[in-house]
Amino acid sequence: TQTAVGDLFQQITADVKVTEDDVRLAYEQRRGELVTPEQRRVRNIVVTSRSEADKVLAQARSGADFTALVQQYSVDGSTRDVGGDLGLVTADVLEQEYAATAFAVGAGEYFGPVQTRNGWNVGQAAEVVAPTPLSFEQAQERVRQELWVERSSGTWRPWVEEQIRRADVEYAAGYRPADPDAAPQVPAAGPAAALAAGPSPEEGAPAVAAGPSGGTNESGDRSTALWLAVQGVLAVALLALGHWGYRTAHRLPAATLPSDQRARTERTYWRWAVACQIVAGVFAAVTVAMAATGVS
């Protein structure tokens, strides 16, 4: 279905063109948006408790050498030997709460404590690199793609909506969207909202609406379904293998093997049976948990 819709999309938007003059004009109109993101050189100390983080932050703000504090307190082995230096980073590569704190202070200032998955963090914004405008050469492909997305969407969406109106669709209770003649919506992603109703040249087909809440991107649902199917098949296969091994260990004819070799073979079968049962149980537990939480 995705391939077919992608082919249809290419047919409907085949006449969409973006010229070099279009790109240059759009670049001049969007210069204020075409900048590199702010970067910061962050130094960080990770400890295991809030109280310890408070102590480290107090020492840093009182003038203690930050590198010495890293060596003394940080449990992060990957950065301890480089003074806690995370390098120049943008906010989008950091955990959200940590990024909000690290990018709120001035150059040279300390921040924290902030709890992340790795523990309690105390940091310093050692260097701040302000956003800088992109040259035309740096921005032209991004601008070209944005224009293509906008124009293709402007062609695709009205065509889809016309097909929906002609189809005279009747919705089951609870599934009727606010505007039944509108094209399906997908979550926004980037300046052009990832087309919102059609693929980029590299991506193939647009998202398909599904469910009572209106449009949604089905890729996550398909990934979840595929993963659950794989988990389920593996669980069943391992259970069957374990059962076969267990039965085989007890059905070997007495005359088939010498007693000592028979005993070793039975132990091997039994161990594999138990191992398969344990692994199958883990797969089954993960499958149930993912089905219950909807994690993809």
Range from 53-62, 180-189, 226-235 that averages highest in pLDDT: 53-62
Q: Is 59 within 8 Å of 72 (Cβ atoms)?
A: no
Q: Is 120:52 a contact under the CB 8 Å cutoff?
A: yes
Whole-number pLDDT of residue 5:
86
Q: Residue 120 forms beta bridges with which residues?
A: 47, 115
DSSP assignment of 71-120 equals HHH---HHHHTTTTEEEEEEGGGS-HHHHHHHTTSPTT-EEEEEEETTEE
Q: pLDDT tens-digit profile of 108-126?
A: 999 999 999 989 999 999 9
User: What's the whole-model pTM score?
Assistant: 0.46
pLDDT attached to residue 187: 42
| Each residue's pLDDT tens digit, 6-17 | 889 999 999 999
Whether the predicted pLDDT of 144 surpasses 90: yes
- Nearest CA to 236 out of 279, 266, 193 is that of 279
